[in-house]
Every structure is written in structure tokens, then in C-alpha cells.
Amino acid sequence: MAWINQNRNALISAVIVVIVLALMFNGMSPQTASSVILSGITLAALYFLVASGVSLIFGLMDVLNFAHGSLFMIGAYAGWTYYTNPRLLFNTGSLLLALVAGFALSPLLARFIVLPRWARWLAFLIAFVIAIFSVRDFPIDKLVAMGMTMTGKVIPTAEAQEPMTTMLMRLAGAFLAGAVASAGIATRSAERRAAPMQQTIALVIGMIVAAVIILLAREPGEQFILQTDSNWRFLMAMVAGALTGGAIGALMEWGLIRPLYSRPIYQILLTLGLTFVFDQVVRFVWGPAGAFMEIPKWFNTPSKDCPSDNLWVWFAQNCDSVFIGGRPFPSYRLFIILVGILMLIVIALLLQRTRFGMIIRAGVQDSEMVEALGINVRRVFTLVFAIGAALAGLGGVVAAPFLGVYPGMAMEFLLQAFIVVVIGGLGSIPGAVAGALLVGLARAYGDNIVLAGIQLPWMKDAISGSPAIARASTVLIMAIVLFLKPTGIFGKKD
């Protein structure tokens, strides 16, 4: 009896999953059922990569990040750009790194100057003007016009890129804008007074040097990336998407969300506003039209023997599909499932088997006590936010060959992620797993109804469904779970 009480949430989730599966697949052929289940698990893996970050951030920081879907989208575009048009990343990434280097001067400037309120706003205004002049007439449209990413007029790299001297001047302007803005946010907090001066200087110099190296390596770097095998290029694109998402997430927490921890309404307004900002940035840089990312050769090698008879044969053939349950199933979707499982294992090991995970779990229970033990909780908050954002960015890159990249993917996956965390329980990683499985299976079942219709016992012909059924199925599952357990499957009462 004690074991049942201890594992009650897991048992409830298992019973709900079994009941839902029984109702969904009653009357289906084994081939159709296996195909729908695998499609649902594929979607569940993507939903988990987004929802796990939302749960991780909310569980430790009590922050509902409405911009998390945008991090998924930005990661997808960053990975797609690395894979197809690296010259855009080389020319813009160096400028962004120089800007961040300027912001990193804030702890150092706080030792010498603390501006009054009116002077801070003036510093922000001056920094904004400097930043505008630094990127004035920047040829973003030419850099985007790459052969692999554009069907219209293609502009060669030599014409698209500005001269090195011009880019170095832009680099200096970006650093100056960040430095002036950092003077506006410099405060004499205890954390920043304790920051070693040598560490801050080394960090700033390191970022400046890295920005210059990225800029100098733009042409050989582009050629090296595009000539790399598609499999390794895709793996590096996954790393690029995760790093981009993590970096943006860390900057969001450090510069925007940290001052608003005591104002939850402001947090919601801020992150919701960032969603629209990121959407417009994507439309401005990459355009409103979507694009598809090439599937790596590991999962798309043409052969007369395709589809592969089983997974062991696939390892030798690398076909685009594998026979599972009597039907061919795309091999790349199996890779998505594998990534989701691996990330679940990594998160579980991080939280349960490492000192950092122990600090996170302790911070969830009592952040003031952790701070009293001499642990920098704010730095932990930033790292957790970065990890959650990196998971979203990784999910975006993994989804790109499956769904493509398009501006609307941010809001679409944000909605599904929040449905997942509400079903599973806010702040619970096991809840994110259970919620992702339920939502993914419900969505796959809804998609099957749209394509094949639903056969009712008392009717001769199947009823065809509307695409709205697929979207409504996830909301229906959420309503059922909340009716049975208002806090979510793994949620706890306050």
C-alpha cells in the first residue's frame, strides 16, 4: 500500500495512457495502430524538448516563459542557416558577440560608476543610436540570397559580404553600443562587487577575440562547412541551434527577466512581447516564407532495397524508411524519437546524479537557504534558463527536416508545450514526459481521423474529419486530465 501511495502519480498517468490508447485504437488494424503510435511518439519527442525547458524554468524560478516557443523557432532557423547558408551566421554572429562583450562590461563598470536614473535612460538612448548607426545599410538581404536557400536571384558570397574594414568598424560600433548600455545597467549589487575584475576582463577580451576570429574566418569557414558531409554538417547544425537558443535564453534571463522576479505579471507581459519581437526579427531576416531542411544521408540514402526490413538492415542501408509493424516508417522520425529519449536521460542524470542537479532541486525547495550556504543562486538561475532554452533550440533543429522552418512554428509549439506542462503538472519533468506522450498520441490520432476518417460501429461509412479535429484533440485530452486531477498528473498542491 505504501508503494502505491508513493508512486500514485506514475500509476495515474499509466492508467490514463492505457485508457486513452484503448479508446483511440479500438478497431484499428495493427499496421495502422503502429503507424499512429510511432507518429505520436515522434511528436511527443518534439513536444518534450520544448516542454521540459518550460517545466525546468518554472520549477526553479517560477517564471512562465511565453517566449519559449520563439527559442524553438530561433534554434530551428540557426541550425538551418548553419546547414545551408553559413555566411549569414559568420557575418551576423560576430556582431552579436561584440555587442554581448560590451554588455559583459557591466560588472566592471559597476566598480567605478553608478549612474542616476535619468542618466541610465540617456545611456540606453545613446547605445541605441550607436547600434543603429553600426548596422546602417547592413546587407542582410544579400547575405540571405544564398544558392541553397533561395530560388530567385542568387548573390555570390564575394558580392554579398562587405569588405573586412567595414565589418571591423561595425564590430567596434557594436561593442561600443553594448559598453554604453552596460553603463546604464551597472549597479553595486553584492554579486557584482564580488565578481573578480580579472575574470570580467578576460571574458570581455575573449569574446572580442572570438568575434574577430569568426569574422576573419568567414570565407574559409563557409567553404569548410558547405563541403562537409551532410551527416556531420547536420550534427553541427544541432549544436549551433542548441548554443544559439542557450545563449539567447541566458541573455534574456540576465538582462530582462532577472529584475522582474518579484513581478510575475511583468514577466508574462515581457516574455509575451518578446514572442512578437522574435517573430518580426525572423520575418525581417529570413522572410515570411518557410523553407525545408534537407534530411541527412544517414536517413535518406537512395537504394533499390529500400525500405529496410528492420533496424539492423537499416544500419547498413541508411534507407529513408524502415518496416515497423508491417508498414514502412520514416527513419528520420525514429531519430527524432531517439533524440527525445537521450535528452530525457541526460536531464534525469543531470538532476539526480550531479551536484548541479542537487543545487537545482534544493533551489526549488528553498532558494534562500541555498543562497545562505554561499551558492550563487542567480548564476544557477541563468544556467537553468540557458539549459531550458538550449533544449528548445535543439528541438527546433531536429524538427526542421521533419516540419521545415517557418515563422508560425513558435506559436504552434508554444501552445502545445503549455498544454503538455498543464497536463503533466507545472514544474515536473516526469509530468512533461507523460504530458508529451498524451498530447503527441492525441495529435497523431486526430491527424489519422483527418486522413482516414473514423468508423463508428452503427455507421456503414467512415466519417471524414476536419483538420480542426487534430488540433482540438490535444485540448480535449487536457480537459479530461484536469477534470480528473486539476493540478495535472504530477502536479502538487501549494
Q: Distance between CA 166 and CA 98 in Å, rounded?
A: 15
Asked if 178 and 127 touch (Cβ cutoff 8 Å), the reply is yes
CA distances from 201 to 92, 93, 197, 291, 348 (A): 24, 21, 6, 41, 36
Query: Quick check: helix, strand or coil at residue 291?
Result: strand
The residues near 360 (Cβ < 8 Å, ≥ 6 apart) are: 60, 351, 380, 384
> At 405, phi and psi to the nearest 5?
-120, 135
Element (H, E) at 316: helix 311-317
The residues near 437 (Cβ < 8 Å, ≥ 6 apart) are: 17, 40, 41, 44
Instruction: Fill in the amino acid letter for 465.
Output: G
Task: Dig out the grid coordinates for 307 from the structure.
Answer: 525500405
Per-residue confidence (pLDDT) for residue 396, from 0 to 100: 94
Asked if 424 and 430 touch (Cβ cutoff 8 Å), the reply is yes
Q: Distance between CA 282 and CA 280 in Å, rounded?
A: 5
Domain ranges across the chain = 9-297+327-484
Element (H, E) at 324: strand 321-324
Per-residue confidence (pLDDT) for residue 397, from 0 to 100: 95
CA distances from 155 to 52, 92, 372 (A): 40, 17, 58
Per-residue confidence (pLDDT) for residue 147, from 0 to 100: 62
> At 283, phi and psi to the nearest 5?
-65, -35
Per-residue confidence (pLDDT) for residue 331, from 0 to 100: 86
Q: Distance between CA 322 and CA 135 in Å, rounded?
A: 49
Q: What is the pLDDT along the chain (494 residues), one digit of tens a residue?
A: 665 666 666 666 667 667 766 766 666 777 777 888 888 899 999 999 999 989 888 877 788 889 999 999 999 999 999 998 888 888 898 999 999 998 888 877 777 777 787 888 898 899 999 999 998 888 888 888 776 655 555 667 777 788 999 999 999 999 999 988 888 776 645 444 445 778 888 888 999 999 999 999 988 988 898 888 888 999 999 999 999 999 999 888 887 888 788 788 888 899 999 999 999 999 988 888 888 888 888 888 777 777 777 777 777 777 878 888 778 888 889 899 999 999 999 998 988 888 888 887 777 677 777 777 777 777 888 888 999 999 999 999 999 999 989 998 999 899 999 999 988 888 888 888 988 988 898 888 877 777 766 655 555 565 666 666 667 778 888 888 888 778 878 776 65
Q: Distance between CA 358 and CA 360 in Å, rounded?
A: 5
Angle value at C-alpha 15, between 479 and 13, nearest 5 degrees: 60
Q: Distance between CA 62 and CA 56 in Å, rounded?
A: 9
CA distances from 276 to 36, 38, 70, 282 (A): 34, 33, 9, 10
Closest CA to 56 of 455, 335, 430: 430
Per-residue confidence (pLDDT) for residue 190, from 0 to 100: 40
Q: What is the DSSP string of 165-183?
A: HHHHHHHHHHHHHHHHHHH
> At 296, phi and psi to the nearest 5?
-60, 160
Q: Distance between CA 158 and CA 147 in Å, rounded?
A: 13
Element (H, E) at 243: helix 230-252
| pTM assigned to the model | 0.87
Query: Quick check: helix, strand or coil at residue 407?
Result: coil
Per-residue confidence (pLDDT) for residue 465, from 0 to 100: 61
Angle value at C-alpha 74, between 408 and 184, nearest 5 degrees: 120
Closest CA to 130 of 170, 177, 98, 169: 177
Asked if 439 and 424 touch (Cβ cutoff 8 Å), the reply is no
Per-residue confidence (pLDDT) for residue 182, from 0 to 100: 85
CA distances from 35 to 375, 426, 463, 477 (A): 49, 30, 20, 20
Q: Distance between CA 108 and CA 376 in Å, rounded?
A: 18
Q: Distance between CA 407 and CA 70 in Å, rounded?
A: 9
Q: Distance between CA 404 and CA 146 in Å, rounded?
A: 17
β partners of residue 405 = 291
> At 187, phi and psi to the nearest 5?
-135, 155
Closest CA to 42 of 431, 324, 388: 324
Residue 423, CA atoms < 13 Å, CB-side half-sphere: 32
Length of the chain equals: 494
